Structure 1
Amino acid sequence: MLILDKASTQTNLECFLDCITPVVPSQFLSKSEMRKLNRLWHPWEREKVDYFTLGDLWNCYDEWSAYGVGVPISLDDGQNLIQYFVPYLSSIQIFTSNGSVNSLREDTDSTSETRDSFSDSFSDESESRWDGCSSEEGLCEQDGFWHPNDRLGNLYFQYFETSSPYGRVPLVDKISALAERYPRLMSLRSSDLSPASWMAVAWYPIYHIPMGRTSKDLNTSFLTYHTLSSSFQDMDIEDDPESGEGKSKGGESISLPPFGLATYKMQGDVWVSDKDGRDQERLVSLLSVADSWLKQLNIQHHDFNYFMGIRHG
């Protein structure tokens, strides 16, 4: 089987990062559209610029949301198994330029609330709610982000999940519900989005095949951070495969590997299975980048804080 062959040449962590990376069909911008690009976000001159639509990105998560994504894992005793994870939308911010999208705030006055920080009362074994802005209400505003900024752009949409994992719906279901009020969540193009546009996906384990094995690390949850903007594709990153930025394949597809990562309940060595320490170094690096990203945008990300053991009272 191909998936197990891949497991034999990659570490468990590398397999996870590879398996949960969406590869989105892409198209080329026309010459006239290229001339309209925001030069603050696309400073490099290129003969061709490819992009994807957010709708095509969500389609990558369709089957994963329904059945989970299988990640091949090799255990210390030599046994191979496949651990399945389901993706949940943890947070998203979409910044656009003035010309691409008017700053829409459809029906948000009565449903969104401003919060500087979140608090929670969730414990490992309980289903008590995570306090904060209601996940059912959609938008959660934070101070400072509704003001236009040339480099950040205009904040078209943001969402921060704060409910208990037990009360969440898979990513595609959440996006579908949000898109009923914000239809451009399906039609916006990555070329229209500011480099500050991003999303975080929470991956919770559901089961593994074959069943019967018990390992503390099979309960590990992951939080991955992904760019939503085409601007990162303008950089030459072929020499830096671990940079986490999107890579293009000549107008055919765009890969969006995580640029940041956090973990929860990582207690054993299943996910740090290599002998030379590269897995541990990569985990530390990805966590540091995620932390720096949130600090640059002055964001209190509820899931990140919870994964890190940070509780806001």
Structure 2
Amino acid sequence: MVFDTGLTRSNLDCFLHCTTPTVKSQFLPKSEITSLNRLWHPSDTENVEYFTLSDLWNCYDEWSAYGAGVPIVLNNYETLVQYYVPYLSAVQIFTGNSPVNSLREETESGDGESDSSCDDSESDKLWRWDGGSSEDGGSEQDSVWHVNNRLGYLYFQYFETSTPYARVPLVDKINGLCGRFPGLMSLRSVDLSPASWMAVAWYPIYHIPMGRTVKDLSTCFLTYHTLSSSFQDMEPEEDGVEGAGGKRKEGDGISVPPFGLATYKMQGDVWLSGDFGRDREKVVSLSSVADSWLKQLRVQHHDFNYFTGIRRG
């Protein structure tokens, strides 16, 4: 069995590549560009590309049903395809609009779901962009400014806490939530603040051909993705397409690669032996970035704590 990606990418890079969604894109009407939040979209540009959250979830539709196939080259140069199913692990969506209850929260345990909300003053204290408490310098008006202009208002958040066996695939989970939170479908990446993010848990289901017993094939991954258009210009260019002077066209698609990563049950070296040792450094670096992101937003992410061995009392 021969793969066109297996020989040019390490196993880790293959996983990151095969599980990165490329979302159908659109260009914002020029009449709407001037109304963008300049703190979130500081650059002046004639074309602003965006995607809708509904199109993002569509990228996970087939993966949720059949798994995402990841080509893997084993140490004996045998090749196989390991399939991973995505599950929504966490998401926080910040917008520029203030709902009646600025903090809307979804949490789930193995026994069911619960909703909670708090008033604007509590939201200001919990979600300041600079990560400090509301008493750390400045007035109450300064605190409100930090939330409204830089972080935005927390429209929705969800943190999965149930066991993997009690979870449903990502698309099924989103479909179950969007009835109460329609913004999960209608919001656009240009509507979201830079603090908006999601984490996807990838659990292995099977590999083809069957019959191999490899410890690392039970490895689970946790990928972190930003949801705001604010970071689109920061994405690395692949294969020199942009550098060659070609202009992107509407519908080309926006790649949403992970900015952070955590792993669980990585017992061998299948994922770390490639790319001349740089994969090990990459895992450490991506995990550190994920940890820093969570600390900056002052949130406890259950899956990250579990994957990295952090135990909370």
Q: TM-score, normalised by structure 2?
A: 0.84
Counterpart of 1:253 in structure 2 is 253
Task: Say how many residue pairs are matched.
Answer: 284
Alignment pair present for 1:308 and 2:308? yes
Quick one: which of 144, 147, 162 aligns to 2:126? 144
* Preserved CA contact (<8 Å) 1:135 1:161: no
1:149 positional shift: 3.4
Amino acid in the other structure paired with 2:265 = K
* Preserved CA contact (<8 Å) 1:139 1:157: no
> Structure 1 pair 179/275, CA: closer, same or farther in 2 (3 Å)?
closer
Amino acid in the other structure paired with 1:175 = I
1:273 positional shift: 2.4
Amino acid in the other structure paired with 2:99 = S
> Structure 1 pair 140/134, CA: closer, same or farther in 2 (3 Å)?
farther
- The SS at the match of 1:277 is helix
Counterpart of 1:59 in structure 2 is 58
Counterpart of 1:124 in structure 2 is none
Amino acid in the other structure paired with 2:126 = G
**What is the CA deviation profile of residues 117-141 of structure 1, one whole-angstrom value per residue up to 9, with x for unaligned ones?**
xxxxxxxxxxxxxx96966336698
Q: Distance in 2 between matches of 1:209 and 1:239?
A: 29
- The SS at the match of 1:266 is coil
Across the aligned residues of Structure 1 and Structure 2, the Cα RMSD in angstroms comes to 2.7
Amino acid in the other structure paired with 1:32 = S
Counterpart of 1:169 in structure 2 is 168
> Structure 1 pair 104/25, CA: closer, same or farther in 2 (3 Å)?
farther
Q: Distance in 2 between matches of 1:107 and 1:308?
A: 28
Quick one: which of 99, 115, 118 aligns to 1:103? 99
Q: Distance in 2 between matches of 1:6 and 1:236?
A: 21
Counterpart of 1:91 in structure 2 is 90
Counterpart of 2:271 in structure 1 is 271
* Preserved CA contact (<8 Å) 1:103 1:155: no
Counterpart of 1:192 in structure 2 is 191
- The SS at the match of 1:7 is coil
- The SS at the match of 1:217 is helix
Counterpart of 2:136 in structure 1 is none
Q: Distance in 1 between matches of 2:102 and 2:46?
A: 37
Alignment pair present for 1:219 and 2:218? yes
Identical counterparts, % of pairs: 65
Amino acid in the other structure paired with 1:291 = D
Q: TM-score, normalised by structure 1?
A: 0.84
Amino acid in the other structure paired with 1:37 = L
